[in-house]
Structure 1
Amino acid sequence: MHRLPPTAEATVLDIRLSLDPLQFSLREEARIAATFAAAKAGNPALFDGPILLFSRPCIDGPSLAATAYRTRYSSLTTLIAHPETGRDAVNLFGAAAIVGSDGGVVLGRMGPKTAGAGEVKFPGGTPDEEDVTAAGGVDIVGSIVREMAEETGLSASDARLDETLILVDDHPYFAVVGVLRFPEPAEHLAERVRAFLAADPDPELAGVEVVRPGASLDPAIVPAYTRAALARIS
């Protein structure tokens, strides 16, 4: 039996950008260089671009607070490969649960050039500079909307976003899942996404799958945070 990670809920996010360096990236500099070199040897498409990683979030009632730090993708690669070395750092990210009018949920299947090739999960991604606001905050809900549009072609303006966000703590991952409810059946949404991907010369997704509440999902390809959040969607 595969135990699911703990979940919580929040309606308020308070995430601020620090100008200090991420201590994990400084402390593990040599390991990061070696780990990313090995990862890139296996997947030359990987790019060591700028991203944000975060302090451990604090949940207080309906609010979630965290601090973001600028770093590079190689730090994330190492955090995932060696999570025990980074208990002070997490990959906090937004993910879009695309729910059709019939209750079906559309998941993306990651393409061969991505770090999670073959995985089936919510569209989403690690925040970066595009998600930093002028006031120095990090807009995770904006990241959810942006990533969904970039990966699937679906617009949040066509859906209703649940006020409550689902939080899944599965170190080193910390998923903030926004539930977007569309007025169309899930399979119709999936067909729209497939058409979008067919027209994209370099899509991030290789395809999409529709899953139903209570479906048995393969833990080898569906990440724990996706399975945990799906269990809370009704």
Structure 2
Amino acid sequence: MSDAPRIVEVDRLDCRLVAHHWAYAEAAAEEMDRHWAERVAHNPTLYDGPVLLACRAEVVEDAGHRTLKLDAFETRFSYFLGWRELGWRDTSVFNCFAMPAVRSSDGCYLLGEMGPGHSVAGYRYFPGGTPDPSDVIEGGVVDLEGSLVRELLEETGLHATEGVAAPGWSVIFDGQRIACLKRLDWPAPASAIREQVRAHIAGEPKPELSDAHMLAPGRHADPRLPPFMTAFLAHAAAWA
């Protein structure tokens, strides 16, 4: 697998909840439980709730339309964290999530800086998170767009309906991460968006973010940005 993130533009996402036995988590359970105990001792705010990972990810083309098809299964956050932080040893599963790329009227993108209680404190991402069972709707469909809307509101106070969604998705394959990004064109300049989000953070009793930032598209050499973020910002320069 190439180390460089790969970007694929798709028309839609099709994610379904399935029953899946995660053999790796069972085999590595003792090691991951020890890892979780160490992480919680360092950061007691971490919570071992259920999350959804993907055991299948495939881009399918039909009649000129591309669909990202995903099979998702439920596991514990502690197992997800151990799998991620112990080196992604099992490459049969993926961390697939949806994020809004909120673009200001003057062409900058909104990023949130993860707060001290987060498992990736200090890193900068678009608003979002790993989906969980609350994102499963009728028929076992995992509503990734609904997850995007929820996370945007919870983290920033912004309502997705205030922006204009671009058609389709930019899907970034970055090792075991699959980031599904949808551009939202916002009718406000970068300074106003940042001020609004900062006010939301200041008003939250337990904010997930510690700060908000606005970045212009292009190449950014910042260790606080994960590779899929730098890949998207470089890719987005073509839309400027």
Q: TM-score, length-normalised on structure 2?
A: 0.91
Q: In the TM superposition, what are the counterparts of 1:151-230 in structure 2 within 5 Å?
A: 151-214=155-218, 216-218=220-222, 220-230=223-233
Cα distance in 2 between the residues matched to 1:125 and 1:146? 10
- Residue 51 of structure 2 corresponds to 51
Root-mean-square deviation (CA, aligned residues, Å) is 1.5
- Residue 78 of structure 1 corresponds to 82
**Is the CA contact (8 Å cut-off) linking 1:18 and 1:67 kept in structure 2?**
yes
**Is the CA contact (8 Å cut-off) linking 2:219 and 2:234 kept in structure 1?**
no
- In structure 1, the residue corresponding to 2:137 is in which secondary structure? coil
- Residue 137 of structure 1 corresponds to 141
Against the structure 1 CA distance between its residues 101 and 86, is the aligned structure 2 distance closer, same or farther, given a 3 Å change threshold? same
Cα distance in 1 between the residues matched to 2:210 and 2:194? 12
**Is the CA contact (8 Å cut-off) linking 2:220 and 2:230 kept in structure 1?**
no
How big is the shift at 1:38? Answer: 2.0
- Residue 39 of structure 1 corresponds to 39
Deviates more, 1:131-140 or 1:21-30: 21-30
Tell me which amino acid in the other structure corresponds to 1:225. F
**Is the CA contact (8 Å cut-off) linking 1:83 and 1:172 kept in structure 2?**
no
Deviates more, 1:24-33 or 1:158-167: 24-33
- Residue 110 of structure 1 corresponds to 114
**Is the CA contact (8 Å cut-off) linking 1:161 and 1:179 kept in structure 2?**
yes
- In structure 1, the residue corresponding to 2:145 is in which secondary structure? helix
Tell me which amino acid in the other structure corresponds to 2:149. V
Is residue 17 from structure 1 mapped to residue 17 from structure 2 by the alignment? yes
Deviates more, 1:208-217 or 1:20-29: 20-29
Percent of aligned positions with the same letter in both sequences?
35
Tell me which amino acid in the other structure corresponds to 1:184. A
Q: Deviations over 1:95-139 (max 9, x none)?
A: 121100111111001100000101111110000011101210101
Q: In the TM superposition, what are the counterparts of 1:59-70 in structure 2 within 5 Å?
A: 59-61=59-61, 62-70=66-74
How big is the shift at 1:16? Answer: 0.8
Q: Deviations over 1:16-41 (max 9, x none)?
A: 10133333322322222122122222
Unaligned runs of 5+ in 1: none
Cα distance in 2 between the residues matched to 1:45 and 1:141? 27
Deviates more, 1:5-14 or 1:24-33: 24-33
Against the structure 1 CA distance between its residues 84 and 77, is the aligned structure 2 distance closer, same or farther, given a 3 Å change threshold? closer
Cα distance in 2 between the residues matched to 1:69 and 1:20? 6
- In structure 2, the residue corresponding to 1:9 is in which secondary structure? strand
Q: Deviations over 1:67-98 (max 9, x none)?
A: 11011101111121234421111110111211
- In structure 1, the residue corresponding to 2:72 is in which secondary structure? strand
**Is the CA contact (8 Å cut-off) linking 1:11 and 1:63 kept in structure 2?**
yes
How big is the shift at 1:204? Answer: 0.3
Cα distance in 1 between the residues matched to 2:88 and 2:109? 33
**Is the CA contact (8 Å cut-off) linking 1:21 and 1:70 kept in structure 2?**
no
Cα distance in 2 between the residues matched to 1:84 and 1:154? 33
Deviates more, 1:51-60 or 1:64-73: 51-60
Q: Deviations over 1:40-73 (max 9, x none)?
A: 2221211111111111410123111111101110
Tell me which amino acid in the other structure corresponds to 1:52. L
**Is the CA contact (8 Å cut-off) linking 2:219 and 2:230 kept in structure 1?**
no
